[in-house]
């Protein structure tokens, strides 16, 4: 059991500014089955339950809630496994419909939408019908009134993580080019299943690693496919990436039929994306289902690039442009036929269709499978499930697209660069840098270089590296602080314990009176020179060993000679009583005693 979606008031009491109707909508799992509880206009609760198989099987499921007037419909998995011969009992396994008793179909709720759980409140003010406040599982692609919610940046989140841990490491990648199994797309998998990719616009391939290759049509050109397998009969999902070009009338873009009356056609009604379907029953007595849709809110430009998508299932038909503009129509499988066995498939004009399309096609997908556009591609071989049987008047490339090479150098600011995307030229940053955007989503600058994207480091590895760096910094800080707080221990030395081998002992306090000859300045005195005209100076004769004595005296007077730690005493201009030597310092205590 678990709550999937809840939208209702947080508190049960009313305020002066808002009336508490008590309305709410809750989609939850009870015993593995989907149950919808809904209260509108403060009236009694409406409960809708699909009595099909359990959904807690580790696979992805689709749940749709539609309200039109007083009719509330709950559909599971788009009823894609419904059989026309199953009757009402089989229909109830995927679809449930009720009609409310109140004629006011408004849902009076002004509160945040909660997914996968409930915000904890101080008092139990949530409806008693909610049996389990939490949910253990994964949720993706939440769409409310044709607007897809951004699940990556919710206003509040608690105990929820991006991605899905139930499929394990199925979508992980060890490649330096991408952190995910899908290089340019969304990866998902069942519990214990193989990964699948939903490619971003502009990319194709099993792992979304192949850029699109455009082809161009002229009026009357077409591609016919050989369908070598049985395609889905109850549902269709067709996606076209097109450049409309200058076309006249209602040119046909794609066409599929069962070879008889039933068909599905995608075409341009002037500047509007349009589709038309006719589904005929196999037995007589039931009227055919005729459906026509167009998106009038999004006119197409001649050289613009657009994604045109057609979705059909037994309960709904929908047409959208770029995932933002929509047109839909509900269907009732009990009264309208919904099966079509596709035998013929064309891109461009069909044999009996309008031949005015002169635009470009970059991608053609049928039931999320990219079909080949060129006869030389690997997907178009005869062993493929859907291959090209004939191609007429189709050329490679697209001359209608606007490229960065055709624009002036000043098209993008100096900090940005121009790249060719599926939608056309856009100004962005280098792929290895972070894009800075304003509130409108426009690029205004480039941030720091993203080393993670260039090295291909996974998120767990990045977290481990950061934790290791923090631990290393803390260890260094501990070592530095401990070394600074540790003081050096010195042993105290008393004067009588000091031993100096070169210290001279003086018996007379004051000392130094008996060795004045060592500090004689006679050698520095200027000799007496005779006056001019007088007899030459007479110098006393040297003694026999005067040379040896002079050398000894020079060595004694040399300050750079050893011993270097010799105690020397110099006279100064003060009284001779205050002269102190080491001998006198050591003798002071004995004199006092």
At residue 253 the predicted structure's pLDDT band, cuts being 50, 70 and 90, is very high
* pLDDT cut 70: percent of the chain above it: 75
CATH 2.10.25.10 domain locations along the chain: 164-211
Residue recorded with tokens 């059909």: 312
pLDDT at residue 182, rounded to an integer: 86
pLDDT in tens, 84-111: 766 777 788 888 988 887 766 677 777 8
Whether 143 and 149 have beta carbons less than 8 Å apart is answered as yes
- Whether 54 has a pLDDT exceeding 60, the answer reads yes
**What value does the mean pLDDT take over residues 23-50?**
86
Q: pLDDT by residue (tens digit) across 258-268?
A: 888 899 999 99
- What's the token pair of residue 325? 């503009």
In terms of pLDDT, which residue wins out, 285 or 222? 222
At residue 453, the pLDDT reads 42
- Whether 585 has a pLDDT exceeding 80, the answer reads no
Using 50, 70 and 90 to split pLDDT, how confident is the model at 528? low
What is the pLDDT, as a whole number, of residue 450? 43
Which range is least confidently modeled, 46-60, 296-310, 371-385, 516-530? 516-530
With CA atoms as reference, report the closest residue to 390 among 275, 221, 537. Answer: 221
Q: Cα–Cα distance between 53 and 72 in angstroms, integer? A: 21
Q: What is the mean pLDDT of residues 424-444?
A: 80
- Stronger pLDDT, 534 or 380, i.e. the higher one: 534
Q: What integer pLDDT is reported at residue 454 of this predicted model?
A: 42
Here the tokens at position 445 are 């600058």
Under the banding of pLDDT at 50, 70 and 90, the label for residue 538 is low
Span 181-195, average pLDDT? 83
Ranking 100-114, 227-241, 372-386, 493-507 by mean pLDDT, the lowest is: 493-507
Q: Evaluate if residue 66 carries a pLDDT over 80.
A: yes
Instruction: Say what the pLDDT of residue 506 is.
Output: 52
pLDDT score of 179: 67
Residue 508 has pLDDT above 50, yes or no: no
Check whether domain 164-211 has CATH 2.60.40.1220, yes or no? no
Condensed to tens digits (0 to 9), the pLDDT of residues 346-359 reads 998 887 767 788 89
Query: How many C-beta neighbours within 10 Å does residue 97 have?
Result: 16
Residue scoring higher pLDDT (423 or 293) = 293
**2-154: CATH architecture:** Sandwich (2.60)
Cβ atoms of 309 and 323 within 8 Å: the answer is yes
Q: Note the pLDDT of residue 457.
A: 58
Those residues whose C-beta lies under 8 Å from the C-beta of residue 239, and which sit 6 or more positions away, are: 307, 308, 309, 310, 363, 364, 365, 368
Give residue 274's pLDDT: 95
pLDDT at 451 over 70: no
Q: Which band of pLDDT confidence, cut at 50, 70 and 90, is reported for residue 452? A: very low
Chain segment 196-238, per-residue pLDDT in tens: 888 888 888 888 888 888 999 998 889 999 988 888 888 999 9
* Residue 383: pLDDT band with limits 50, 70, 90: very low
Count of CA atoms in the C-beta half-sphere (13 A) of 218: 6
Whole-number Å distance between alpha carbons of 29 and 144: 19
Evaluate whether 427 touches 417 at the Cβ level (below 8 Å): yes
Q: Looking at the domain that runs over 214-396, which CATH code has it been given?
A: 2.60.120.200
How confident is the prediction for the chain on average, in pLDDT? 79
Residue 382 pLDDT class (50, 70, 90 cuts): very low
Which of 217, 229, 334, 328 minimizes the C-alpha distance to 277? 328
Q: Is the pLDDT of residue 381 over 60?
A: no
Q: Tell me the pLDDT tens digit for each residue of 308-318.
A: 999 999 999 99
Residue 79 burial by CB count (10 A; 0-12/13-18/19+): exposed, middle or buried? buried
Residue of 70 and 122 predicted with greater confidence: 70
Instruction: List b or e across 51-76, with b for residues whose CB sees 16 or more CB atoms inside 10 angstroms.
Output: ebeebeeeebeebbbeeeeeebbbbb
Q: Is 82 helix (H, G, I), strand (E, B) or coil?
A: coil
Average pLDDT over residues 124-147: 82
pTM beyond cutoff 0.75: no
Q: Over the Cα atoms of the chain, what is R_g?
A: 47
In the chain, list all ranges with CATH 2.60.120.200.
2-154, 214-396
């Amino acid at each position: 059991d678990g709550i999937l979606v809840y939208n209702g008031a947080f508190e049960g009491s009313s305020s002066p500014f808002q009336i508490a109707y008590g309305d709410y909508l809750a989609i939850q799992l009870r015993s593995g089955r989907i149950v919808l509880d809904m209260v509108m206009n403060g009236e009694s609760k409406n409960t809708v339950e699909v009595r099909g198989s359990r959904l807690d099987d580790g696979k992805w499921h689709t749940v749709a809630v539609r309200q039109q007037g007083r009719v509330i419909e709950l559909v599971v998995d788009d009823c894609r496994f419904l059989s026309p011969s199953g009757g009402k009992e089989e229909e109830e396994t995927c679809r449930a419909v009720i009609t409310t008793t109140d004629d006011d179909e408004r849902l009076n709720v002004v509160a945040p939408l909660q997914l996968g759980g409930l915000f904890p409140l101080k008092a139990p003010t949530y409806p008693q019908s909610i049996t389990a406040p939490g949910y253990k599982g994964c949720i993706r692609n939440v769409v409310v009134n044709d607007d897809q919610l951004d699940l990556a940046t919710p206003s509040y989140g608690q105990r929820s993580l991006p991605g899905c841990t139930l499929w394990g490491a199925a979508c992980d990648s060890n490649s330096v080019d991408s952190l995910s199994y899908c290089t340019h797309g969304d990866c998902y998998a069942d519990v214990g299943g193989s990964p699948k990719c939903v490619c971003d616009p502009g990319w194709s391939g099993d792992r979304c690693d192949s850029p699109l290759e455009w082809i161009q049509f002229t009026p009357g050109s077409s591609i016919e496919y050989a369908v070598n397998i049985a395609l889905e009969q109850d549902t269709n999902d067709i996606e076209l990436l097109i450049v409309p070009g200058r076309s006249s009338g209602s040119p046909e873009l794609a066409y599929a039929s069962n070879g008889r009356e039933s068909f599905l056609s995608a075409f341009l009604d002037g500047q509007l994306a349009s589709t038309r379907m006719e589904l005929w029953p196999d037995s007589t007595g039931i009227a055919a289902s005729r459906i026509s849709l167009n998106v009038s809110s999004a006119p197409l430009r001649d050289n613009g690039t657009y994604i045109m998508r057609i979705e059909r299932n037994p309960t709904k038909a929908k047409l959208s442009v770029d995932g933002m503009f929509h047109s839909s129509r509900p269907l009732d499988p009990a009264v309208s036929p919904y099966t079509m066995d596709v035998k013929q498939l064309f891109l461009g004009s069909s044999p009996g269709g309008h031949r005015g399309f002169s635009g470009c096609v970059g991608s053609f997908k049928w039931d999320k499978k990219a079909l080949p556009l060129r006869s030389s591609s690997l997907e178009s071989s005869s062993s493929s499930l859907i291959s090209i049987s004939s191609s007429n008047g189709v050329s490679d490339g697209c001359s209608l697209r606007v490229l960065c090479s055709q624009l002036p150098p000043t098209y993008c600011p100096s900090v940005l660069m121009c790249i060719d995307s599926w939608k056309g030229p856009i100004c962005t940053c280098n792929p290895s840098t972070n894009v800075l955007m304003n509130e409108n989503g426009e690029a205004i600058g480039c941030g720091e270089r993203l080393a993670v994207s260039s090295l291909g480091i996974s998120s767990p590895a990045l977290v481990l590296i950061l934790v290791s760096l923090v631990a290393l910094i803390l260890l260094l800080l501990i070592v530095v602080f401990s070394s600074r707080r540790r003081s050096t221990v010195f042993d105290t030395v008393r004067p009588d314990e000091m031993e100096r081998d070169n210290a001279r002992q003086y018996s007379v306090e004051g000392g130094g009176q008996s060795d004045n000859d060592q500090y004689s300045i006679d050698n520095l005195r200027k000799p007496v020179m005779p006056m001019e005209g007088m007899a030459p100076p007479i110098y006393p004769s040297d003694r026999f060993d005067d040379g040896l004595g002079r050398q000894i005296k020079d060595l004694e007077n040399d300050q750079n000679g050893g011993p270097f730690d010799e105690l020397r005493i110099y006279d100064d201009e003060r009284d001779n009583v205050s002269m102190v030597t080491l001998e006198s310092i050591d003798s002071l205590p004995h004199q006092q005693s």
